[in-house]
Amino acid sequence: MQLLAKVTCRTSRLELTTSKRGVIWIDQVSLIPSDTYKGHGFRKELIHMLVDLKPRFLRFPGGTFVEGILLRNAFRWRETIGPWEERPGHYGDVWNYWTDDGLGYYELLQLAEDLGAEPIWVFNAGISRNDQVDTTAIAPFVKDVLDSLEFARGSAKSTWGSVRAAMGHPERFQLKYVAVGNEDCDNTKPFYQGHYLKFYNAIREAYPDIQIISNCDGSSEPLDHPADLYDFHIYNSADDLFLKKDTFSRTSRTGPKVFVSEYAVHVDGDTSKGSLQASLAEAAFLIGLEVNSDIVHMASYAPLFVNDNDRKLALTGFCVFFRTSILIMTVSVIMSEYNEQMDPRCDSLQLLATVWNS
């Protein structure tokens, strides 16, 4: 059943009433504008703000959201495609909320295409925060990823490409980047490198043009496994992030490139909406990335959006706060937009030495 409001009313509410006492079970409920960005379900004002930033890529569906605290609550792409009302949804145990997965794998690929941005698919590597499968049992996960790539890139006559076509997109999505897990390369997750090689070899054989991103940090020591890029995350106080601006000046120029997929000033317990000090530290860190653009291939601020009525993290470090009818840009996003508008043609291909006497 679909109910369409005739006018916009920011204080309205929907009530279901009965003539006598009883229980009403409702499976799926969604409240969205009828007029969305390119008809693909996203609020126009949110996406217009994103368009203004001129994103070159879209990393999805997230970071720890991909893992889950337990594997049973990890993101499963198969369960996020098809008719929305038939998707089972899942419990996002990392951030403690239920998601109906209306924003699924297909919708995120479509959003990247609508933005003219490269999609970067971060998939679960058989590892969550608190559990993981042995490498001897990783084959179903590898098969699952290959199927996801066929869904995105396969012909409309292939098994999974036909599912995509039936959803309204017979053309192949231009998916060229994948990340094997999220923050999985540490001493508490001993199976990651074994898992990674299984994924790497299978993807490289089936899709040799896809760029594969490792979770392991190669900024101080070379990686001991093949990769096209490696992931680097950094959240610090303003003072500490400013001091990290030269991080990649000491990084080897051989081997895989760097993908700084998450960076921001984070202050625990700070529920404000950013600060000038934070944005200046982030700008200094970005300048350090530009100085080392021969090795730093991509970078993105994170997290991007947060619902201000359901904020799970008591810390700074969000780009855009939104509510039902308002948007709040932080100084960080204003600074990023200003830098882009200064010269949108600049790709940091060459650094010129400059001396400034004040």
Separation CA 122–CA 93 (nearest Å): 18
Q: What is the mean pLDDT of the chain?
A: 89
Which of 31-35, 224-228, 331-335, 344-348 shows the lowest mean pLDDT across its residues?
344-348
Note the pLDDT of residue 28.
Answer: 83
Domain total for the chain? 1
CATH number, domain at 138?
3.20.20.80
Question: Does residue 183 have an active-site annotation?
Answer: yes
CA distance 327 to 345: 28
pLDDT of 128-178, one tens digit each?
999 999 999 999 999 999 999 999 999 999 999 999 999 999 999 999 999
Q: Is residue 338 predicted with pLDDT exceeding 60?
A: no
Beta strands (DSSP E) in 85-224 are 90-92, 97-99, 118-123, 177-180, 211-214
Flag whether 357 is in a domain: no
The answer to the question of residue 212 being in a domain is: yes
Predicted local distance difference test score (pLDDT) of residue 151: 99
User: If you average pLDDT over residues 80-84, what whole number do you get?
Assistant: 95
Distance of alpha carbon 306 from alpha carbon 66, whole angstroms = 17
What are the tens digits of pLDDT across the range 237-266? 999 999 999 999 999 999 999 999 999 988
The answer to the question of residue 203 being in a domain is yes
Model confidence at 296: pLDDT above 80: yes
According to the per-residue pLDDT averaged within each range, which of 113-117, 237-241, 252-256, 329-333 is highest? 113-117
In angstroms, rounded to a whole number, what is the distance separating the alpha carbons of residues 303 and 261? 10
351 within a domain of the structure (yes/no): no
Query: Whole domain around residue 311: which residue ranges?
Result: 37-340
User: Who wins on pLDDT, 348 or 246?
Assistant: 246
In a domain? residue 192: yes
Residue 31 lies in a domain: no
Least confident piece of the model among 16-30, 305-319, 328-342: 328-342
Classify residue 176: in a domain, yes or no.
Answer: yes
201 pLDDT band (50/70/90 cuts)? very high
Query: Looking at the domain assignment, is residue 169 inside a domain?
Result: yes
- Would you tell me how many other CB atoms lie within 10 Å of the CB of residue 53? 18
At 4-35, the pLDDT tens digits run 888 888 787 888 888 999 898 888 888 888 88
Instruction: Tell me which of 45, 79, 86, 183 is the catalytic residue.
Output: 183
Q: The whole model's pTM is what? A: 0.90
The residue that leads in pLDDT, 60 or 16, is: 60
Adjacency order of strands within the sheet including 296-301? 57-60, 118-123, 177-180, 211-214, 229-236, 257-265, 296-301
